[in-house]
Copies of this chain bind each other. A is one copy, B any other.
Amino acid sequence: MSETQMPTPRTRVVREAHRGVYDRETAYKILDEGFLCHVGFVANGQPFVIPTSYGRKDASLYIHGSAASRMLRQMKEGIPVCVTVTLLDGLVLARSVFNHSMNYRSVVILGKAALVDDPAEKLEALRLLSEHIIPGRWDDARQPNERELKQTSVLRIPIEEFSSKVRIGPPIDDEEDLSFPTWAGVVPLEMKVGTPENDPTLQPGREVPEYVRSYSRG
């Protein structure tokens, strides 16, 4: 699907259409700040929505999991999926309940997942996933062996049919509500990284590495 066909009727933002954004740069920025997605797939007519982590390279999104998981068993059959990433930035308090909102950035990707068979692409996808979540960790950890690679399935989802939705800024109240006697504004929300907690079985002399101490998103 070429870029010029975006959005498709399926990805066009219907509600609050002015918040729909269809360029690749916006989508990639949101995808690269987040690392948790919600994957939707259908089994026996029932939709399932499962949280999982992901990585990205160019126009490919990678997810992984145990070969034993319901999600991966279903999805590797090439069924349609939806991958949604949402970053929550704040509560928007208007004077009227009706105009309350949230500041957020989200991406919705529609497509079909394909099982990554090639061992080199699979290992590279696992590296991308790891480096997407916490850059620097892959080279500092014990990398997957043959047995572990066999137990892991990796799926590739093309980032072809997608849309983003972005809301930023203060509340938008109706003119006649501006004098209503209440506070209005935004309560910012963000992901806070806490102090790293050593594994109780950590051997002496293993210091918290710099890529963990300085970890942040966005």
Residues on A lying within 8 angstroms of B by beta carbon are: 10, 14-16, 36, 38-42, 45-51, 53, 65-66, 68-71, 80-84, 86, 88, 90-91, 93-98, 100, 102, 104, 106, 108, 110, 126, 130, 133-134, 137-138, 140-145, 148, 151-152, 170-171, 173, 177-203, 206-209, 212, 215
Smallest CB-CB A-B distances: 4 pairs:
A188-B194, A192-B192, A15-B69, A40-B47
23 contacts across the A-B interface (CB closer than 8 A): A15-B66, A15-B69, A40-B49, A42-B42, A45-B80, A47-B81, A48-B110, A49-B82, A49-B108, A90-B194, A95-B142, A96-B142, A96-B144, A98-B148, A100-B141, A170-B200, A173-B201, A183-B206, A184-B198, A185-B197, A186-B199, A187-B193, A189-B193
A208 contact set on B, CB distance < 8 A: 183, 185
Q: Bound state CA distance, A155 and B138, in angstroms?
A: 44
- Give the copy number: 2
Whether A183 touches B170, Cβ cut-off 8 Å, given contacts A97-B126, A134-B91, A201-B178, is no
For A144, give its contact among B83, B98, B148 (CB under 8 Å): B98
In angstroms, Cα B96 to Cα A199, docked, is: 13
Would B183 and A188 count as touching, CB distance under 8 A?
A: no
Shortest CB–CB separation between residue A85 and chain B, in angstroms? 9
Cβ contact within 8 Å between B212 and A49:
no
Check A152–B98 contact: CB distance below 8 A: yes
